[in-house]
Chains A and B, each alone.
Chain A
Amino acid sequence: DQQVKQNSPSLSVQEGRISILNCDYTNSMFDYFLWYKKYPAEGPTFLISISSIKDKNEDGRFTVFLNKSAKHLSLHIVPSQPGDSAVYFCAEENFGNEKLTFGTGTRLTIIP
């Protein structure tokens, strides 16, 4: 059973608008959630993370929100740019054993 779920396989957003990518999880015993971005023919690259003790983390155009009661995580990108077109994976990590459990990914397309 998938512990980390990304229910939207794809998302299209107009350039300049907000992109919202969602992630649901089942395991409450985690330390961090991370978002990775992946371009074709490249490995995933780390984008932003959030600790289990926080409900928001912001880095430039990227903000991650954590709703522990709903077991829901979201990534907001504002404003969206064409270079943001990629596949986005959320992942949970337990600090110490280093394992990342990934979601299935959401393909974001920014329309110029």
Chain B
Amino acid sequence: AQSVTQLDSHVSVSEGTPVLLRCNYSSSYSPSLFWYVQHPNKGLQLLLKYTSAATLVKGINGFEAEFKKSETSFHLTKPSAHMSDAAEYFCVVSPLWGYQKVTFGTGTKLQVIP
């Protein structure tokens, strides 16, 4: 069994300030974890993924996330928010192996204030 909890449904930051989007997971298996971004009326874009290699994962557009097994967390960060970062972000968990489904978090809407 697996689940993912995104602790904030809405985050608002000023342009140029850091971004922190929180995600906690639960999995009976060794997990792989992902962050996806969805801009309004668009599909999903993969930001980054953790697949049991380095615990600090760097993604596109300056985003990174750290896998912390002891805290069962996979928080997404960015040092400086840009207006174009305003979107919905989904944390996703799936078993590392096999062909089972992936499970999405409920999403965090990031608002960037000019």
Partners in one complex: no
Report B's interface with A, CB cutoff 8 A: none
